[in-house]
Structure 1
Amino acid sequence: MAAAYVVAGSVLLVVGAELIGRLELAGRAWPPLTDVVAYVATPAGGSLLWRNLLVTLESAAKGFLLGAAVALLGAALALVVPLLRPGLDRFSAILNAVPTIALAPLLITTVGREDTPAVIAALSVGFLMFVTMTSAFSNASEVYTDVFTVFGASRLTRLVRFDLPRSVPAFFDGLTLSAPAAVLGATIGEWFGAPAGLGLLLVSAMQNYQMALLWAAAISATLVSLAAYLLCTRLQRVVARRFA
C-alpha cells in the first residue's frame, strides 16, 4: 500500500509539472517536462549533462568521505580529550554559520576552483556528522562507562572497545542525513566558478535563458540527492538490524 501511494504521488507530481509547463501557468521559465526529457534525449544535451553530472558526483563523493572522516576524528578527539570538547563544538558551530557565499571566494583562492566544490561538500557533511557522533558518544550508559573506569581503562581504550562499536548505527544515521548535503554542497561549490559540474550548468543555463538545460540540471541534482539518501537509508536499516 505504501508503494502504491508513492507511485500515485509521483505520477501526480509529474502530470502536474507537465500541465503547469504546457499551459504556461508559471510563465515560460517553467517548461513542460516532455521538453526537458526531449532535450536530454538529444546526443548533445545528454552528453553535456552526463559529463557534468559525473564531475558533481566525484566532488560530492570526495566531500562526503572527507567530511565524514574528519568529523569522526573530531568527535573521537573530543571524547578522548574532554578539554577540547567545548572548543571543537564552538568551532564547528561557527564554521557552519559562515555563509557559503563568504567562504567560496576564500576557498577558490586557496584550494582552487576544481577542489572548492568538494571542500564545501565536506563542510556540509562534517557539521552533521560531528553533531551526530558527539551526541552518540555522549549518550553512553553510565553503567558501562563505570565498568571501564573500575578496570582502569583509558579513554582511548573505551573509545575503541565500547563507544565506536556502540555508535555504528548513529554513524549511519549521520551518513543518511549527510548524503544529500554532500550533493547540495558540491553543486553550490560549482556555482561559484568551478570549471565543470551541474552547478556550472545551472549558472550558464540561467544566464543564457536555456530553460530546458536549467531544469535538466536541477532535476538531475535532485535525483542524485534522492538516490544517495535512499542508498544510505537502506544501509542504515541493514546496520540497525545487525546491531539491534
Structure 2
Amino acid sequence: MNAAARPSVRIAYAIAGGALLIVLAQLIGQFELAGKAWPPLTDVLAYVSTPAGSSLLGRNLLVTLAAAAQGFLLGTAVAVIGAALALVVPMLRQGLDRFAAILHAVPTIALAPLLITTVGREGTPAVIAALSVGFVMFVSMTSGLTAANPAHHDLFTVFGSTRLQRLGRLELPRAVPAFFDGLTLAAPAAILGATIGEWFGAPMGIGLLLVSAMQNYQMALLWAAALAATLLSLAAYLLLVQLQRLAAGRFA
C-alpha cells in the first residue's frame, strides 16, 4: 500500500468504526439490552432536535465551556511558570514535583467542599478544571524543558549566557512540541474537570444537567448531556491535535 492511500484508508476505518458504534448504541437501546436506562440513540437525537432540548443543552454547554476555558488558561499558565521556575531554580524542582503529585492525588470529592467555601459554587468548576490541566501541563513542560541537546547547553555555556537567557533562547523553544502535546491532553481534562465541578451545586452547566436528569430519571436528557460533553471534548482534542502537528513541524 503506497503512502498516498494510507490517509484515505485511515479515514475509511474511522468512519466505519463510528458507524458501527452508532448502530450498536441504537440496537442496545432499541432492544433494551442494557435496560431502560439506555434509550435508543434516535430518542436522544429526537430530544436534542426539539427547541426546548436544544436550547437547554446549548445554554448549559456554553457555561461549561466558559468554565473549562478559564480553568484551561489558568492551569496552563501556572504549570508553565512552575516548570520554568523549577528549571531556573533547581532547588525548587523536587518540592514542586512532590507538590504537584500530592495535589493531583487528592480526590476531587475531598477538594470540592473546600473550594465551595473559598471560591464559591460558581468558581469551583473552573478551579477543578485548572487543577486537572495543571498537572498534565506541569509534567509535559518539565519533560519538554529538559529536551534540549547537551551540546547546545555547552555552546550557551561557552558564550557565557545567563540562566534566563538559556531558558528563553534554548529551552523554551525546544519545549514547544511538548507544550502542545500537553495541551491535547489538557483540553479534554479541562472539560471533564469543569463538568465534575458543576456536580457540587453549580447554578448551570452540563454537570448540573447530568445530576438533575439522573435524579429525575430523564434518560433522554441524561444521554443528550453526556453526548454533548463528549463531542465538546472531542472537538477540543481534534483542534489541538492540528495545532500540535503544526508546532511539531515548526519546532521539532
Band the TM-score falls in, shorter-chain normalisation: over 0.9
RMSD, matched Cα: 0.8
- Per the alignment, residue 120 of structure 1 pairs with 128
Q: Between 61-70 and 150-159, report the one with greater CA deviation.
A: 150-159
Q: Which residue of 1 aligns with 2:164?
A: 156
CA shift, 1:152, in A, is 2.1
Amino acid at match of 2:33: L
* 4+ residue runs over 2 A deviation: none
Provide the secondary structure at the position in 2 that maps to 1:115. helix
**What is the alpha-carbon distance in structure 2 between the residues aligned to residue 161 and residue 17 of structure 1?**
51
Tell me how far apart the structure 2 counterparts of residues 129 and 79 of structure 1 sit (CA, whole Å): 15
Aligned-partner Cα distance in 2 for 1:66–1:213: 31
CA distance in 2, matches of 1:13, 1:56: 26
Deviations 1:148-168 (A, max 9, x none): 222222211110111111111
Residue equivalent to 1:71: 79
TM-score (norm 2): 0.95
| Aligned pairs (5 A) from 1:13-32 | 13-32=21-40
Q: Aligned pair 1:55/2:63, yes or no? A: yes
Q: Give 1:83's match in structure 2, choosing from 85, 91, 96.
A: 91
1:1-244 matches, within 5 Å, as 1-244=9-252
Amino acid at match of 2:189: A
Deviations 1:140-198 (A, max 9, x none): 22111122222222211110111111111111011011111011000000011111100
SS at match of 1:193: coil
Matched AA of 2:115: L
Structure 2 runs not aligned, ≥5 long: 1-8
Q: Are the counterparts in 2 of residues 79 and 155 from structure 1 also a CA contact under 8 Å?
A: no
- Identity of counterpart residues, as a percentage? 75
- Looking at structure 1, the residues matched to 169 and 47 of structure 2 have their Cα atoms a distance apart, in angstroms, of 55
**2:25 and 2:41 in contact (8 A); partners too:** yes
One-letter amino acid of the structure 1 residue matched with residue 191 of structure 2: V
Unpaired runs of 5+ in structure 1?
none
Q: Is the 8 A contact 2:146 2:171 kept in 1?
A: no
2: CA distance, partners of 1:178 / 1:34: 32
The alpha carbon displacement at 1:37 in A equals: 0.7
Please give the alpha-carbon distance, in whole angstroms, between the structure 2 residues aligned to 1:43 and 1:177: 33
Secondary structure of the structure 2 residue equivalent to 1:24? coil
Question: Could you tell me how far apart the structure 2 residues matched to 1:136 and 1:43 are?
Answer: 47
Measure, in 1, the Cα distance between the counterparts of 2:192 and 2:126. 11
Superimposed CA distance per residue, residues 111-140 of structure 1 (whole angstroms, 9 cap, x where no aligned partner) = 111111011011001000000100111232
Q: Is the 8 A contact 2:124 2:197 kept in 1?
A: yes
In the superposition, the TM-score normalised over structure 1's length comes to: 0.98
Count of matched residue positions in the alignment of Structure 1 and Structure 2: 244
